[in-house]
Amino acid sequence: MGCALSGTGLDPGKAAGDVNGPVPRSEAAGSELIASDSDPPLPLSEQQKELIRQSWVVLHQDIARVGIIMFIRLFETHPECKDVFFLFRDIDDLQQLKMSKELQSHGLRVMSFIEKSVARLEQEDKLEQLAFELGRSHCRYNAPPKYYEYVGVQFIAVVKPILKEKWTANVEEAWEGLFDYLTWTMKRGYHDAEQSNNINQSSHTKRRAQSGLKANQNAV
């Protein structure tokens, strides 16, 4: 996914497998989740949904700190992501970034999206709509889909030490499955908005061409 980026601060010019404990996909894929643009991820099991809800109860107590650390790690591991954020693009000092009110606000918005996603685990139509519309909004701000999956990777890296012994391979697999789904759905939303924009631009260009042709004919 993600990236789960929201509008403010972006530059407008610019499923889980076996719950019995398989090797986490973030390790198997070189710590990078991959969501296919064509094949939907496997659905989460009821056990996995419950694991996500249980761990979120603990994480919710520290969401502001998780949001900040998640983005600092994101900019450390993928500095090119800063190009999407005009507010942070020219800040190279990570300590200065940690103190940024704008980054704190953006981190909280991303965590709010994750919270809403967890709350909709049993309402798949609402969860899909939430992620799909977020993907569409990313298209307006030119936040490329290639960044979305990085958010899930960094989220997992941050929350592992917070949950300590409560973090297991099964919990990791459950969260990976959720982020796979969110990323996949956001990409669908992005491409849907992109296609709509292309159609609208094509129609606008055609109307202008027809208007110009009509004006030339009247001038003859």
- What is the per-residue pLDDT for 104? 86
For the cut 90, the answer to whether the pLDDT of residue 201 exceeds it is no
Cα distance between residue 12 and residue 186, in whole Å: 18
7 within 8 A of 141, measured Cβ to Cβ = yes
- What is the per-residue pLDDT for 95? 76
- What is the per-residue pLDDT for 175? 97
Asked if residue 18 belongs to a domain, the reply is no
- What is the per-residue pLDDT for 2? 36
pLDDT tens profile 56-88: 999 998 898 899 999 889 888 888 887 777 666
Asked if residue 80 belongs to a domain, the reply is yes
Cα distance between residue 208 and residue 211, in whole Å: 5
Note down the domain range covering 201.
Answer: 25-219
Q: What is the CATH number of the domain that holds 89?
A: 1.10.490.10
Asked if residue 63 belongs to a domain, the reply is yes
pLDDT tens profile 88-144: 666 777 777 778 888 888 889 999 999 999 999 999 999 999 999 999 988 887 777
Asked if residue 4 belongs to a domain, the reply is no
Q: How many residues comprise the chain? A: 220
Asked if residue 64 belongs to a domain, the reply is yes
DSSP state of 61: G
Looking at per-residue pLDDT, the higher value among 1 and 216 belongs to: 216
- What is the per-residue pLDDT for 82? 76
DSSP state of 43: P
pLDDT tens profile 2-58: 333 333 344 444 433 333 333 334 433 333 333 345 577 878 999 999 999 999 999
137 within 8 A of 194, measured Cβ to Cβ = no
- What is the per-residue pLDDT for 218? 58
Which has the closest alpha carbon to 65: 15, 110, 17? 110
pLDDT tens profile 145-198: 888 889 999 999 999 999 999 999 999 999 999 999 999 999 999 998 888 767
50 within 8 A of 23, measured Cβ to Cβ = no
Helix ranges (H only) for 41-147 are: 46-59, 63-77, 94-98, 101-119, 124-140
Asked if residue 19 belongs to a domain, the reply is no
Asked if residue 146 belongs to a domain, the reply is yes
Number of domains composing the chain: 1
- Tell me which amino acid residue 41 is: P
Asked if residue 8 belongs to a domain, the reply is no
